[in-house]
Amino acid sequence: MIELARELRRSYALVERNFNLIRRYIGWEIVFLVYTVVNTLTIAFIGVNPATGGGGDRVLYLVVGALLWGFLSVLFHEVAESVQWERWEGTIEYSFMAPMKRLSYLGGVCLYAATYGAVRTVVVMLAVVALFKLDLGSANLGAALVVLLLSSLSFIGVGLMAAVLPLLSPEKGSQAAHILEAAILLVSGVYYEVSVLPGWLQPLSRLSPATYTLRAARAALLENASLRDIGGDLVLLLAIGVVLIPLGLKVFNWGELHAMRTGKLKRSG
């Protein structure tokens, strides 16, 4: 129990450090936030536009996609880029030399990512709701929240796997993580049904946890679906998280050992 408390305090080091960094980069944070708000509003306006057959639930359909993708991509980015960021700052050796379980290190990164992503998403959501006067009276917000929690687990798992890439290849690892993120965006039906994808791409959508997240969240928010109604997707999201998080940790540990064997923890690689 005492050891657990110690590890939690160590995890908090990452959360505090990253929020301190936000304060120091506050100008950029504001720019990114404004950009995200404007981007989401732009997407929502596509839903209103009569020329594209807009109206009705279409705005909410697109907004749900934009908000969820905003949250999940922040989660993915923060976890996947944690190693790359430390490498860039030159602190990776110091952080990895600390007597801290890697689970606690990555747990801290994930805790920060989820908190930061949630705060950003709430700000964007408030802006969208205020401008479009969206009616969420018939939405099952509780079920949507459960979807968000379970999808966070699966995205943390994907992020952990991507975080190892800079340990394997200091130069190309981060690039590969961006490609993975783009592929998830393409196949997951963020702004459209996956049925509109070419036949050869549709099987990939079934591999992406974002597909189930978006389908379940839309059902909860647009059709007032209950937890029972979206139970299948929830089980899938949970299963993906349960499999990917331990697997991600295993892969990360393997990647760290590889970096220690080849000297790639060092900034210059």
Please check whether residue 173 is in contact with residue 167, taking contact to mean a CB–CB distance below 8 angstroms.
yes
- Tokens found for residue 247: 């697997």
State the minimum distance, in angstroms, from the CB of residue 60 to other proteins: 39
* DSSP state at residue 194: G
Nearer CB in complex with other proteins: 5/196: 5
Q: What angle do CA 196, 177, 43 make, to 5 degrees?
A: 45
Q: Closest CB to other proteins among 86 and 181? A: 86
Spatial CB neighbours of 95, under 8 Å, sequence gap ≥ 6: 86, 105
Give CA 137 to chain center in angstroms. Answer: 27
Q: Is 115 in the site for other proteins (CB under 8 A)?
A: no
Tokens of 160: 């952990």
- Minimum Å gap between C-beta 240 and other proteins is 30
Q: Which C-beta is closer to other proteins: that of 45 or that of 88?
A: 88
Near other proteins in 3-22, by CB under 8 A: 6, 9-10, 12-13, 16-17, 20-21
39-98 binders of other proteins (CB under 8 A)? 89-91, 93-98
- The residue type of 62 is L
Task: State the minimum distance, in angstroms, from the CB of residue 31 to other proteins.
Answer: 16
Whichever of 190 and 259 has its CB closer to other proteins, that residue is 259
Among candidate residues 205, 202, 201, 227, the one with its CA nearest the CA of residue 216: 227
What residues contact residue 269 under an 8 Å CB cut-off, 6+ apart?
Answer: 170, 171, 263
Nearer to other proteins, 61 or 252 (CB): 252
Is residue 99 involved in binding other proteins (CB under 8 A)?
Answer: yes
Site residues (vs other proteins, CB under 8 A): 6, 9-10, 12-13, 16-17, 20-21, 24-25, 89-91, 93-101, 257, 260-263, 265-268
